[in-house]
Structure 1
């Protein structure tokens, strides 16, 4: 039988749905966020792991926000690669240049 009324979710159901969506979006953002974390690792002089983790968190926030905005515009699955663009551009801009005179 098909229910004909409005679907109602409990607060626990809503929390579970949001957790699954957030984890899925974070997994889909990994190509861009891991690249940005590597840039943070390269730029750091002390505590490289913590720097990489901070860059990863920042990249994840940027990716998720951009993906959500693109999905809100009705772009469907195209919003996932579009969400990578700002984080990957930041990775290119912030990547440390190798010093040719250091060798």
Structure 2
């Protein structure tokens, strides 16, 4: 049967919906954010794991923010578009090996 009145969600329902959306957004951003986390691990001189987590966290914010900003306009194409700024940042920050250092 189709309800004819307004659909009402309890606070627990709203929290569950938001949790599923947040988890899905983070999961869809992983291809780009793990790349940036690896760059953060490589750039660190001390505390490599914490640096990688920090880069991952910032990359997730950048990727998810770009995806949410463009999703109303281009739909699911916003997911790979959201990867572009994060992967570009990883490419720019990737440490290059210095041939004269060895």
Normalising by the smaller structure, the TM-score range is: over 0.9
Residue 48 of structure 1 is matched in structure 2 by 48
**1:50 alignment partner, SS class:** helix
Q: Could you tell me how far 1:8 is from its partner in structure 2?
A: 0.9
CA–CA distance in structure 1, aligned partners of residues 90 and 28 of structure 2: 17
1:80 corresponding residue in structure 2 = 79
Which runs of at least 4 in structure 1 moved beyond 6 Å after TM superposition? none
| Deviation readout 1:55-90 (Å, 9 max, x if unpaired) | 0000000011000011122x1110100000110110
- Counterpart in the other structure of 1:100: 99
Give the gaps of 5 or more residues in structure 2.
none
Give the alignment's Cα RMSD to 1 decimal.
0.7
Per the alignment, in what secondary structure is the counterpart of residue 45 of structure 2? Answer: coil
Q: Distance in 1 between matches of 2:53 and 2:72?
A: 28
Q: How many residue pairs are counted as aligned between the two chains?
A: 102
Q: Kindly state the Cα deviation for residue 44 of structure 1 after the two structures are TM-superposed.
A: 0.4
Q: Distance in 1 between matches of 2:94 and 2:72?
A: 31
Paired with 2:61 and 2:5, the residues of 1 have a C-alpha distance of: 36
